[in-house]
Structure 1
Amino acid sequence: MPPPVKKMHLVLITGMSGSGKSVALRALEDLGFYCIDNLPPELLMPLIKLERTNQADQLAIAMDVRSAASLPQVPSQLAQLKTQGMQVDCLFLDASTDTLMRRFSETRRRHPLSKSETHDHDHDQHRALAEAIDLERELLSELRDQAHVIDSSIIRPTQLQSYVKSFIDSPGDPLTLVFESFAFKRGVPNDADFVFDVRMLPNPHYEPGLRDLTGCDAPVVDFLQQQADVQAMLTQIHAFLDHWLDAMARNHRSYVTVAIGCTGGQHRSVYLVEQLNALFAPRWSTLKRHREIAARQTY
């Protein structure tokens, strides 16, 4: 009796030019995915048919704005593949406009939507690049709305690879909750659907014995669990999300990212992410990220 055919897992990677799509592809290659970069949408369905014939079970495809004319057909293609029983995950890599402009300037690469003519003045080049990035955001907006978004603005490539691998390892449930801690002083994550500011809460940073610890460490946890305001914040965020998640799932939302920010991204926000993840994990597929802690660990 022949072995059962494995269910194919397709990961579509898209996003802004310069946001790290090649890094994400390499992470998936490490996980055993057969990866194809810059596939025209017209070739997606024929490729799936071919790979099914070859009994492939892990396929990752990167598409970007170079296929702008045919990108509108991609959502319907993905919906069709899902009805055929395929596991389809969409990953959108994003970054702030300032970050993208800096990366293009540093690498001297041309943006795929930049006009072909050269400009004599830095100001003209700067304006042309900004306009190209704005147009790219508009063209990719529909795909972004249906994908899990990762903001690569201030994270290192090793961090991004870790985020991608965690995303792939998460169960393919109808809705995945992502809890992310961050420091306001380093900017609000672009991938956040909800942002909660907890800087008004008691800060363990001012306790000498807790300053060098994080919200994952037991002494900090004990300290914050004794603070009435912290517990009130936790209860209210939990109640808000618990009330609306079913409605978001019914609206075909696949991913919801909840960002919790404090001053340094080390104590209060980390603690609340850990607590919220524990509260929601029994019912929903969850991921957790600690942006600032992970950034320090990659040095």
Structure 2
Amino acid sequence: MQVVLISGLSGSGKSVALNLLEDLGYYCIDNLPATLLQQTVSLLRSEGHTRLAISVDVRGAQSLPALPDCVSRLKSDGVDVRVLFLEAKTEALLKRFSETRRKHPLSLIQPDLTVGECIVLERELLAEVADLAHRVDTSELSANALRAWIKQFLALDQSRLTLIFQSFGFKHGLPLDADFVFDARCLPNPYYDLALRPLTGRDQPVIDFLEAETTAQTMFADICHYLDHWLPSFDRDNRSYVTVAIGCTGGQHRSVWLAEKLAGRFGGDRQVLLRHRESGTV
């Protein structure tokens, strides 16, 4: 049996995720208290269900402390449990609440809190859940890009550490889901070549431009050396995911090239995901 637990901040895309999983044939339950998780999985398993998607979030705040133990026990019972945590920057969440005119769930419990204060409190309440999960920052993602990333997530071998390389643009903000951030803004910028400006780091002329730069090759080698040295420690710590974010100014040229090159370098030996945040592609 496979169980996908969806959690995260209100307004970060949990409904998009749950609807996608329902379309993919998962039996979906929204807003289940964590204390009922094992009982629910056992019941549905006895009825022959093999794929479940369950939303567990701040609406069941009182039961959230029980979630880590529940997940551990389900895994001990042989259940393939995958925890997906969606989050977004406060500015993006405030904009989404303003556009939809919906109330934040915590404001129903504490009416004196503003939406911004509710978001801060929600981050605190969900911090331990985020530590269990594969985190995705949806601040700059379209719904279609999020659906594509979730499909990637479902295809992973959970017994192996997943190394995620993600390009991004600093002018759009740091990704919340990054474990390591490397800054490629010091490298020569193809943007200033008018012929290269409309291209990305996946296009051959940009690749040729950066491959010819000694500083770009040195940065690539240094990041490889760092990851080669430290990734075994994450393996020993039984980490499921490590996200390496590579940033440049706009997230189109240097960071994309580096992320692609690093994914190729580590993809032979490790389970690798490649993501380009600013274009929403994989």
- Tell me the TM-score range normalised by the shorter chain: over 0.9
Check the 8 A contact 2:5/2:82 in 1, yes or no. Answer: yes
**C-alpha separation in 2, matches of 1:290 and 1:251:** 27
* Equivalent position SS for 2:20: helix
Correspondent of 1:95 among 68, 82, 88: 88
Q: Hey, what's the Cα distance between the residues in 1 that align with 2:162 and 2:256?
A: 19
Summarize the Cα distance change of 1:115–1:44 in structure 2 as closer, same or farther, 3 Å threshold. Answer: closer
Unaligned residue ranges in structure 1 (runs of 5+) = 1-7, 120-126
Please name the residue that 2:127 is paired with: 141
Partner of 1:64: 57
Structure 2 equivalent of residue 74 of structure 1: 67
Q: Distance in 2 between matches of 1:26 and 1:265?
A: 30
2:239 matched residue in structure 1: 253
Name the structure 2 match of 1:30.
23
Give the superposition deviation at 1:20.
0.7
Aligned to 2:257: 271
Shift of 1:170: 2.3
Q: How big is the shift at 1:221?
A: 1.4
Aligned AA (2:176):
N
Code of the residue aligned with 1:210 in structure 2: it is L
C-alpha distance in 1, partners of 2:153/2:23? 14
TM-superposed CA distance for 1:288, in Å, is 0.8
Q: 1:94 to 1:272 in 2, by over 3 A?
A: same
How many residue pairs get aligned? The number is 282
Q: Indicate the residue corresponding to 1:53 in structure 2.
A: 46
Q: Look up the match of 2:6.
A: 13
The percent of aligned pairs where both chains have the same amino acid is 53
Q: 1:221 aligns with which of 207, 210, 214?
A: 207
User: Whole-Å Cα distance in 2 between the matches of residues 283 and 116 of structure 1?
Assistant: 49
| Paired amino acid for 2:32 | L
Instruction: Report the Cα offset of residue 117 of structure 1.
Output: 7.5
Letter in 2 for 1:58: R
Q: Is the 8 A contact 2:140 2:278 kept in 1?
A: no
Letter matched to residue 77 of structure 2: Q
Q: Secondary structure at the match of 2:114?
A: helix
Q: Is the 8 A contact 1:170 1:287 kept in 2?
A: no
Q: What TM-score do the two structures reach when normalised by structure 1?
A: 0.89
Q: 5+ unaligned residues in a row in structure 2: which ranges?
A: none
Residue aligned with 1:279, SS: helix
Q: TM-score, normalised by structure 2?
A: 0.94
Q: Deviations along 1:204-258, whole A, 9 cap, x unmatched?
A: 1222332222111122212211111111111111111121112112223211111
1:115 CA drift (Å): 5.4
Q: SS of 1:60's equivalent?
A: strand
Are residues 117 and 33 of structure 1, via their aligned partners in 2, closer, same or farther at CA, if it must alter by over 3 Å?
closer
Are residues 1:178 and 2:161 paired? no
